[in-house]
């Protein structure tokens, strides 16, 4: 019941924000999905067309923040968020910080098996569980081990582009939760939504940068970029990932980022801290809610 009440509250907030952004467009309360821009009436809460969105993805520790349509939500989970989670799992494993056994493929003397990599205090160990492999694997490995065969470990594969688009999507949704439909309907954001939906093809050369120092993913901030002038816009930070989004109407933002390059200049960037949304406000004050 509490979950349904929260969804209804967020629907009403979004519907009120939509009225403020587009007065006279809809005669009934309407919530527009920030990703696909499709409109939904309140019945969509009961028939499952609208769902709660975690920002960042729940798989990397995100929290519920706003509503998106179920199709957009599920598509992101399958194509994008899984890649972001796998990338973080691989990074933790390679740095010796994995909190649970990490699935790998191990090649030993021409035999490839399913294994689990364990990390503790910077040290690694590999186990080959019987339940993950076909019968007779343990015996074959024992013979190879006595022969001194070399070992190659391959981590889980993931899409680097998909992982970065997942962070782009999370940054865009965080900004929508704070600023509302002026972000959703801004032409400068069309390329962002296109990149999120067409996630198999890179639409922009660069849109997520890596911070020059390591931050935990629990660090989340919405920032305004003040300098340099060519980089003015929004940056949404998730740990080491810096999601870059344009100011309203800035149609050449990503072209400038591609031409200037982000990495060498990040240390010279001046930010203004705006905050972090824990609940959606959609850019309107509470007393403005219809």
- pLDDT above 70 for 229: yes
DSSP string, 51-71: EEEEES-GGGT-EEEEEEEHH
pTM: predicted TM-score of the whole model, two decimal places = 0.87
Assess whether 178 and 264 both reside in one domain: yes
For residue 68, the enclosing domain spans 2-87+160-288
Assess whether 171 and 226 both reside in one domain: yes
**Tokens of residue 42, six digits:** 């309140």
Tens of pLDDT along 129-166? Answer: 888 888 888 777 777 765 556 778 777 888 999 999 99
- pLDDT above 60 for 268: yes
Tens of pLDDT along 13-32? Answer: 999 999 999 998 888 999 99
Q: What is the band of 289 on the pLDDT scale with cuts at 50, 70, 90? A: very low
| Last-in-domain residue among 110, 133, 155 | 155
What is the per-residue pLDDT for 267? 56
CA-angle at 77, arms to 71 and 80, nearest 5°: 115
Assess whether 50 and 180 both reside in one domain: yes
In terms of Cβ atoms closer than 10 Å to its own Cβ (0-12, 13-18, 19+), residue 141 is buried
Assess whether 168 and 269 both reside in one domain: yes
Assess whether 168 and 270 both reside in one domain: yes
Residue 58 in contact with residue 22, Cβ under 8 Å?
A: no
Assess whether 180 and 46 both reside in one domain: yes
Assess whether 209 and 279 both reside in one domain: yes
Q: How high does pLDDT run on average in the chain?
A: 89
Once rounded to an integer, what is the mean pLDDT over residues 112-140?
81
Assess whether 247 and 181 both reside in one domain: yes
In terms of Cβ atoms closer than 10 Å to its own Cβ (0-12, 13-18, 19+), residue 196 is buried
Domain count, the chain: 2
Once rounded to an integer, what is the mean pLDDT over residues 249-254?
97
Residue 56 in contact with residue 80, Cβ under 8 Å?
A: no
Coil, strand or helix: which one is 181?
helix
Assess whether 269 and 144 both reside in one domain: no
- pLDDT above 80 for 265: no
Q: Which of 2-6, 40-44, 191-195, 259-263 has the lowest mean pLDDT?
A: 259-263
Residue 60 in contact with residue 68, Cβ under 8 Å?
A: no
Assess whether 199 and 69 both reside in one domain: yes
Nearest residue to 116 (alpha-carbon basis) of 146, 61, 156: 156
């Amino acid at each position: 019941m509490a979950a349904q009440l929260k969804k209804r509250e967020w629907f009403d907030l979004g519907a009120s924000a939509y009225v403020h952004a587009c007065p006279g467009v809809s005669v009934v309360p309407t919530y527009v999905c920030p990703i696909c821009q499709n409109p939904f009436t309140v019945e969509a809460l009961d028939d499952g067309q609208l769902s709660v969105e975690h920002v960042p993805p729940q798989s990397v520790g995100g929290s519920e923040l706003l509503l998106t349509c179920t199709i957009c939500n599920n598509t992101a989970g399958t194509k994008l968020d899984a890649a972001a989670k796998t990338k973080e799992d691989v990074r933790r494993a390679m740095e010796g910080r994995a909190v649970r056994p990490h699935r790998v493929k191990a090649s030993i003397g021409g035999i490839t098996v399913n294994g689990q990599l364990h990390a503790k205090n910077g040290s690694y160990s590999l186990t080959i569980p019987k339940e993950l492999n076909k019968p007779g694997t343990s015996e074959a490995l024992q013979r190879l081990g006595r022969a001194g065969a070399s070992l190659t470990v391959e981590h889980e594969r993931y899409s680097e582009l998909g992982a970065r688009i997942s962070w782009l999507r999370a940054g865009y949704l965080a900004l929508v939760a704070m600023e509302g439909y002026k972000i959703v309907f801004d032409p400068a954001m069309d390329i962002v939504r296109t990149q999120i939906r067409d996630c198999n093809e890179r639409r922009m050369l660069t849109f997520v940068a890596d911070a020059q120092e390591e931050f935990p993913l629990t660090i989340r901030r919405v920032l305004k970029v003040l300098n340099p002038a060519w980089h003015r816009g929004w940056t949404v930070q998730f740990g080491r990932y810096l999601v870059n989004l344009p100011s309203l109407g800035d149609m050449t933002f990503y072209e400038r980022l591609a031409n200037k390059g982000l990495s060498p200049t990040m240390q010279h960037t001046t930010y203004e801290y705006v905050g972090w949304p824990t609940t959606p406000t959609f850019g309107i004050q509470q007393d403005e809610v219809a």
